[in-house]
């Protein structure tokens, strides 16, 4: 096992954030969403676009090059880097902006993500692709992730009906949390019977097991930790930034059993090392994880050490990850209810960590773990499919490590 | 040295359309029985590959085709040679040639005659997809199939053509303009009037050349594009009462270009050594051939896979296809497309770079750790070694379903798309689409085999690749 990256714990901090409502923005283009998220972030930090030295823009398919941002914001000849890393795109913009500040190249950076998905007129997510030989499978994302459920059932002896209850409860929890969030795409509670009986999309997964396809944007302003209090009394310090792209061997290796994402395990392990976290279940106040489909969230509980292997389903049923549970997961509603504009999602997760750690979440959505003394929040993305994905994990906290 | 058929195989698609379903939908009498239907992901090229694989699976040791000729009246492409995709899908050497004999039903006779008269081993493949307008006789009586015959010289000849003759004369009976999907036929009594004397002349000439009489014929095969004339020839010849072969029209239908090959394969499946077969094909004239079954047929039957016989495939077919699905698959019913993008067509350069993978389903095996990579790679996922790979064709290696799912969102003319993770015997894993199956017929552990299919046709380009199907039931 090689040593992971050293990391930049406590070297940089977030001092301002913005996040649009996610959903069907028929009256707004990607440029409008970028302006809205950036404006809110500038105001939050009390700075202007001129104060930001460099920009990182994450978008999967809503524009290419830095011009996608510099043009709508009328930036004054600033560097804008456009990045893409599938569903980790927004987090990747954040990671690179943090590194630029940490290394001293710039004093202030903005990471901003956007996606405008609803204009395609198509169902589900459509990925851009390079000319190819025509041998790749045409399987959709829900079908790829549906492979997790039967594998989990088989490995841990959970019968399909019991697992369906678990997946239903995960969707129900995230919809409940989203119902308390004015920025979420879906703001109504959904009862368990509706979720369980929703039309099947792939394998055992119904419509309500899938995250919403949405438009949206979110942004963060990053400065060196030493400068952070100039902009806010309550900066959020970056403890860990971990990103891995796997060898994609799971699709070709018979040893891979579809009950884990090795990429998530590795990204989590690196992040815990960077942040000095030994027991995530006990130390984290909350987590925002990539619940693109309900079985994904179940497997992530175990991959990130929130639950023992084979126990995640029991913990989910016991309410461990509920808003008032021991370790709240996706208190903002997650991809499921908040919606999933690809390039914005990673930054949207950080936005919830920002609100919760600063005590700014509305009372009905405030998690109890922070009042109980926990100080760290985790965000997580994965992009790709079981056996072949990229994964990101960040850990942020209200206080520098003593 | 004797020259003749040393290996053969016919391919029947899995799907059957009950003629009663036409009656039910259109209220026009469509008779009894079923017809074979090529799946939405099959065309004459893919069916040719399947028939050829059955034939080559039991070819005599060391006999590989030096040429492949493909005859069809429904070519997948014009200008482009369809036999080349068959050539690559079979993993034939670059030095082996590939030619099409396209357009007319009679091209089937041309391919067989060419292969019989050549000197090197030649694979003749006959393939056809037949349909007509809804409610018509061609739709009802047609069928889809392919048949392949490997001709070579030597002691392993299972059937030797000992005489051949033809009678040719111009008249308009059945025709189709380029671009039309269904054919036209003249008033049928006229065709019978033209065909009958032509058949009699060809039969007389070939029997004379063979030095046998009609009374000595054990199996009499008459096929053709004109149903009435075929029956008339069957009745008129002075062959023994038990000689006329079953023409498979009740279950399979008339498979056009492929039909003489299909019925010959069916007869060879059970013919005794020494038996004499007289075949007559009626298509713009008559072509007659006398074949003698060789002793080697007995060993051939030992070697070949049991599921490859015509009878086994007749019984493995499923008569479950709704008429509306049949119409959809044959482009006779326009359906609302899904709100998903059209599949991207394959780009020519990457398809060519990966031709061993795409067409021949060749994986790679690591020379260091032995791991098999599907698709092939240059760096081993097992040990990380670079450049230690050898190529291994997996097209004929069966596997087992490790896990699977049914995708109701993905576009397919036969929803839901069933996709399985396949673990191959001897190593290697690949996630691929299953075909000729419903989602309820698959379980973890289902044995599967690979089959060459058309994944899509998009922007005028056919995308050929391999899918998996449950191992066919054995007879």
Which of A230, A261, A282 finishes a domain? A230
Q: Give B35 to chain A, closest Cα distance, Å.
A: 31
State which of A184, A202, A230 marks the end of a domain.
A230
**What single DSSP character describes residue B184?**
E
What are the beta bridge partners of residue A194?
none
- How far apart are the CA of B413 and the nearest CA of chain A, in angstroms? 13
User: Checking phi first, is residue B98 left (phi over 0); if not, alpha (psi -120 to 50) or beta?
Assistant: beta
Q: Do B338 and A123 touch (CB under 8 A)?
A: yes
**Cβ–Cβ below 8 Å for B375 and A201:** no
- For residue range B212-258, list pLDDT tens digits in order: 999 999 999 999 999 999 999 999 999 999 999 999 999 999 999 99
Predicted local distance difference test score (pLDDT) of residue B183: 94
A257-261, A277-281, B315-319, B362-366: range with lowest mean pLDDT = B315-319
A382 found inside a domain: yes
Q: Residue A253: inside a domain, yes or no?
A: yes
CATH number at residue A146: 3.40.47.10
The residue in chain B having the minimum alpha-carbon distance to the alpha carbon of residue A145 is B405
CB contact under 8 A, A134 and B357: no
Question: Does some domain include residue A131?
Answer: no
H-type helices in A294-368, by residue range?
294-303, 312-318, 334-338, 342-357
Number of independent structural domains in chain A:
2
- Nearest residue, CB atoms, A147 vs list B403, B427, B465: B403
Q: Which residue of A has its CA nearest to B351?
A: A133
Whether residue B395 has pLDDT greater than 70: yes
A178 and A286 part of one domain: yes
Judged by CB atoms closer than 8 Å, whether chains meet at B354 and A126 is answered as no
Touching check for B24 and chain A: CB below 8 Å? no
- Would you say residue A128 lies in a domain? no
**Is A72 found in the same domain as A29?**
yes
- Looking at residues A366-386, what average pLDDT do you find? 96
Contact status of B465 with chain A (Cβ, < 8 Å): yes
What's the residue count for chain B? Answer: 475
Would an 8 Å CB–CB cutoff place B409 in contact with chain A? yes
Q: What is the pLDDT of residue B243?
A: 96
Model pLDDT, residue B475: 36
* Contact call for A202 and B428, based on CB within 8 A: no
Q: Which residues of B touch A203 (CB under 8 A)?
A: 405-407
Q: How far is B417 from chain A (nearest CA, A)?
A: 8
> Does A364 map to a domain?
yes
pLDDT at residue B474, rounded to an integer: 45
Reported confidence tier of residue A5, pLDDT bands at 50, 70, 90: low
Residue B72 near residue B111, CB atoms below 8 Å: no
| A337 assigned to some structural domain | yes
A200 and A106 inside one domain = no
Residue of A nearest to B412 (CA): A138
Mark whether A66 and A201 lie in a shared domain.
no
Residues 121-180 of B with CB under 8 A from A: none
Contact criterion met (CB < 8 Å) for A200 and B408: yes
Residues A59 and A108 placed together within one structural domain of the fold: yes
Min Cα separation A340/chain B (Å): 18
**Using a CB-CB distance cutoff of 8 angstroms, which residues of chain B are in contact with residue A247?**
381
Mean pLDDT of chain B: 95
Asked whether A177 and A323 are in contact (CB, 8 A), the reply is yes
Q: What pLDDT is recorded for position A4? A: 53
What confidence score (pLDDT) does residue A1 get? 43
The count of CB pairs under 8 A between chains A and B is: 123
CB within 8 Å: A203 and B406:
yes
DSSP 3-state helix, strand, coil percentages of chain B (rounded to 5)?
30, 30, 40
Structural domains of chain B, ranges and CATH numbers in brackets: 3-198+249-272+293-329 (3.40.47.10), 348-470 (2.40.50.840)
Looking at the complex, does the CB of residue B457 fall below 8 Å from at least one CB of chain A? no
Name the minimum distance, in Å, from the CA of B131 to any CA of chain A: 29
Backbone angles phi, psi at B451, to 5 degrees: -145, 140
> Residue B377's pLDDT is what?
93
| Cβ-nearest to A254 among B411, B429, B455 | B429
Residue A183 is given by DSSP the state T
Instruction: Name chain A contacts of B405, Cβ cutoff 8 Å.
Output: 139, 143, 146-147, 150, 202-203
Q: What is the residue range of A106's domain?
A: 12-121+215-230
Residues A90 and A150 in one domain: no
- The label of the residue with tokens 């025509």 reads A134
* Residues of B in Cβ contact (< 8 Å) with A150: 403, 405, 444
Question: Does B409 sit within 8 Å of A140, measured CB to CB?
Answer: yes
Percent of chain A with pLDDT over 70: 98
Q: Considering CB atoms only, which of B374, B403, B419 is closest to A252?
A: B374
Which of B341, B346, B417 lies at the smallest CB-CB distance from A134? Answer: B346
pLDDT at residue A2 in the model: 47
The stretch A222-237 carries a mean pLDDT of 98
Q: CB B432 to CB A131 under 8 A?
A: no
Please give the positions of A annotated as active site: 87, 340
Residues of B in contact with A139 (CB under 8 A): 405, 407, 410, 417, 419, 431
- Partner residues linked to A221 by β-bridges: A16, A110
Q: Which residue has the higher pLDDT, B174 or A127?
A: B174
- pLDDT of A112 strictly over 90: yes
Q: Name which of A216, A174, A175 is nearest A22 in CA terms.
A: A216
Q: pLDDT by residue (tens digit) across A11-54?
A: 999 999 999 999 999 999 999 999 999 999 999 999 999 999 99
Encoding tokens for residue A270? 């690196």
**Can you tell me the distance from the alpha carbon of B222 to that of B204, in angstroms, rounded to the nearest whole number?**
14
- Split at pLDDT 50, 70, 90, the class of A6 is confident
Q: Which residues of A lie closer than 8 Å to B, measured between beta carbons?
A: 121-124, 126, 129, 131-135, 137-140, 142-143, 146-147, 150-151, 154, 200-203, 247, 249, 251-254, 256, 258
CA-based radius of gyration for chain A: 20
Separation CA B121–CA B126 (nearest Å): 16
For the residues B331-349, what does the mean pLDDT come to? 87
Indicate if the pLDDT at residue A132 is higher than 80: yes
Tell whether the torsion through CA atoms of B173, B174, B177 and B178 is positive or negative: negative
Say if residue A85 is in the same domain as residue A172. Answer: no
Q: Tokens 């399947």 label which residue? A: B50
Contacting B residues, span 347-376, partner chain A, CB-CB under 8 Å: 347, 349-351, 353-354, 357-358, 373-375
β-sheet bridge partners, residue B182: none
Q: Is A161 inside a domain boundary?
A: yes
Looking at the structure, tell me whether residues A202 and A112 fall in a common domain.
no
Residue that terminates a domain, selected from A197, A230, A263 = A230
A143 vs B contacts (CB less than 8 Å):
405-407, 409-410, 417, 419
A304-331 mean pLDDT: 98
| Tokens encoding B93 | 């050497």
Q: Do A134 and B417 touch (CB under 8 A)?
A: no
The CA distance from A253 to the nearest CA of chain B, in Å, is 6
Query: Do residues B54 and B148 touch, judged by C-beta distance below 8 A?
Result: yes
Q: Rounded CA gap, A264 and A393, in Å?
A: 8
The answer to whether residue A47 sits within a structural domain is yes
Which residue in B247, B251, B206, B200 sits closest to B227, CA to CA?
Answer: B247
- Paired with B458 in beta bridges are B461
Window B:436-455, CB contacts with A under 8 Å: 444, 455
Mutation test of the interface with chain A: which of B354, B403, B412, choosing the one with the most A Cβ atoms within 10 A? B403
- Does B350 sit within 8 Å of A133, measured CB to CB? yes
Is the distance from CB of A376 to CB of A239 less than 8 angstroms? Answer: yes
Q: What is the pLDDT of residues B105-149, one digit of tens each?
A: 999 999 999 999 999 999 999 999 999 999 999 999 999 999 999
Give yes or no: residues A117 and A205 share one domain.
no
Same-domain pairing of A242 and A225: no
Q: Distance from A144 to chain B by nearest Cα, in Å?
A: 8
pLDDT mean over B266-295: 98
Is the domain of A207 the same as that of A219?
no
Distance from CA of B430 to the nearest CA of A (A): 6
Same domain, A113 and A204: no
Q: Per residue in B36-62, pLDDT tens?
A: 999 999 999 999 999 999 999 999 999
Average pLDDT over residues B348-356: 97
* Dihedral sign, Cα of residue B241, residue B242, residue B246, residue B250: positive
Please check the confidence at residue A130 and state whether its pLDDT lies above 50: yes
Q: How far apart are CA B363 and CA B365, in angstroms?
A: 7
A387: which 2 tokens?
């056996």
Inter-chain CB proximity B444 and A150 less than 8 Å: yes
Residue A86, SS3 per DSSP: coil
């Amino acid at each position: 096992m090689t040593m992971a990256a050293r990391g930049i714990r406590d070297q940089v901090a977030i001092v301002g954030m913005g996040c649009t409502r996610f959903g069907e923005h028929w009256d707004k283009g990607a440029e409008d969403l970028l302006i809205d998220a950036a404006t809110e972030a500038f105001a939050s930090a009390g700075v202007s676009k001129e104060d930001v030295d460099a920009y990182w823009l994450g978008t999967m398919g809503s524009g290419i090059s830095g011009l996608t941002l510099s043009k709508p914001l009328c930036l004054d000849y600033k560097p804008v880097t456009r990045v893409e890393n599938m569903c980790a795109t927004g987090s990747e913009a954040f990671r690179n902006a943090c590194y630029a500040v940490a290394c001293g190249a710039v004093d202030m950076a903005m990471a901003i993500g956007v996606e405008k998905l609803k204009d395609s007129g198509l169902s589900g997510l459509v990925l851009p692709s390079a000319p190819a030989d025509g041998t790749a499978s045409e399987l959709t994302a829900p079908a790829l992730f549906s492979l997790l459920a039967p594998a989990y059932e088989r490995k841990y002896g959970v019968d399909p009906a019991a697992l369906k209850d678990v997946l239903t409860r995960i969707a129900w929890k995230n919809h409940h949390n989203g119902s308390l969030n004015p920025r979420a795409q879906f703001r109504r509670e959904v009862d368990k019977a509706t979720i369980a009986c929703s039309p099947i999309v792939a394998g055992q997964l119904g419509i309500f097991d899938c995250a919403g396809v949405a438009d949206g944007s979110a942004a963060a302003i990053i400065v060196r930790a030493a400068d952070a209090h100039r902009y806010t009394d309550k900066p959020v310090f970056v403890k860990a930034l971990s990103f891995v792209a796997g060898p994609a061997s799971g699709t070709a290796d018979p040893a891979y059993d579809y009950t884990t994402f090795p990429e998530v395990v590795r990204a989590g392990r690196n992040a815990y090392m960077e942040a000095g976290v030994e027991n995530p279940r006990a130390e984290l106040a909350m987590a925002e994880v990539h619940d693109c489909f309900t079985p994904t969230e179940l497997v992530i509980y175990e991959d990130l050490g929130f639950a023992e292997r084979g126990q995640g389903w029991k913990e989910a049923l016991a309410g461990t990850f509920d808003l008032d549970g021991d370790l709240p997961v996706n208190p903002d509603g997650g991809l499921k209810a908040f919606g999933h504009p690809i390039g914005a999602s990673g930054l949207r997760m950080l936005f919830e960590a920002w609100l919760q750690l600063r005590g700014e979440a509305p009372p009905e959505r405030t998690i109890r773990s922070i009042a109980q003394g926990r100080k760290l929040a985790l965000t997580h993305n994965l992009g790709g499919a079981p056996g072949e994905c990229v994964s990101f994990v960040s850990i942020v906290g209200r206080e520098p490590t003593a | 040295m004797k020259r003749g058929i040393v290996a053969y195989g016919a391919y029947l698609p899995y799907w059957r359309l009950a003629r009663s379903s036409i009656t039910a939908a259109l209220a026009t009498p469509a008779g009894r029985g079923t017809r074979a239907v090529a799946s939405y992901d099959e065309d004459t090229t893919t069916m040719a590959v399947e028939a050829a694989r059955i034939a080559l699976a039991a070819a005599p040791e060391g006999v590989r085709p030096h040429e492949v000729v493909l005859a069809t009246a429904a070519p997948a492409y014009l200008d482009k040679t369809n036999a080349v995709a068959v050539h690559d899908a079979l993993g034939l050497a670059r030095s082996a040639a590939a030619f099409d004999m396209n357009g007319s039903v009679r091209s089937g006779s041309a391919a067989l005659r060419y292969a019989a008269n050549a000197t090197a081993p030649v694979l003749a493949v006959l393939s056809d997809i037949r349909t007509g307008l809804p409610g018509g006789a061609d739709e009802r009586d047609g069928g889809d199939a392919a048949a392949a015959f490997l001709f070579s010289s030597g002691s392993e000849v299972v059937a030797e053509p000992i005489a051949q003759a033809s009678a040719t004369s111009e008249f308009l009976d059945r025709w189709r303009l380029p671009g039309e999907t269904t054919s036209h036929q003249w008033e049928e009594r006229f065709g019978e009037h033209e065909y009958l004397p032509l058949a009699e002349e060809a039969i007389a000439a070939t029997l004379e050349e063979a030095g046998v009489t009609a009374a000595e014929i054990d199996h009499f095969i008459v096929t053709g594009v004109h149903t009435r004339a075929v029956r008339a020839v069957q009745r008129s010849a002075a062959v023994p009462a038990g000689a006329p072969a079953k023409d498979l029209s009740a279950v399979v239908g008339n498979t056009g270009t492929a039909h003489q090959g299909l019925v010959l394969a069916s007869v060879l499946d059970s013919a005794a050594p020494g038996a004499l077969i007289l075949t007559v094909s009626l298509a713009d004239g008559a072509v007659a051939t006398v074949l003698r079954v060789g002793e080697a047929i007995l060993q051939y039957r030992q070697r070949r896979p049991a599921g490859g016989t015509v009878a086994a495939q007749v019984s493995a077919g499923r008569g479950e296809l709704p008429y509306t699905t049949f119409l959809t698959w044959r482009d006779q019913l326009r359906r609302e497309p899904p709100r998903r993008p059209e599949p991207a067509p394959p780009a020519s350069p990457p398809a060519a770079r990966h031709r061993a993978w795409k067409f021949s389903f060749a994986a790679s095996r690591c020379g260091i750790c032995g791991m098999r990579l599907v698709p092939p790679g240059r760096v081993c996922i097992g040990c990380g070694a670079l450049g230690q790979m050898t190529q291994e064709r997996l097209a004929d290696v069966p596997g087992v379903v490790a896990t699977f799912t049914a995708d109701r969102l993905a576009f397919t003319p036969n929803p839901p798309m069933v996709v399985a993770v396949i673990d191959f015997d001897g190593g290697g894993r690949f996630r691929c689409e299953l075909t000729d199956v419903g989602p309820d017929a698959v379980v973890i552990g289902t044995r599967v085999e690979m089959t060459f299919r058309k994944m899509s046709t998009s922007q005028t380009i056919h995308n050929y690749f391999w899918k998996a199907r449950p191992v066919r039931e054995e007879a």
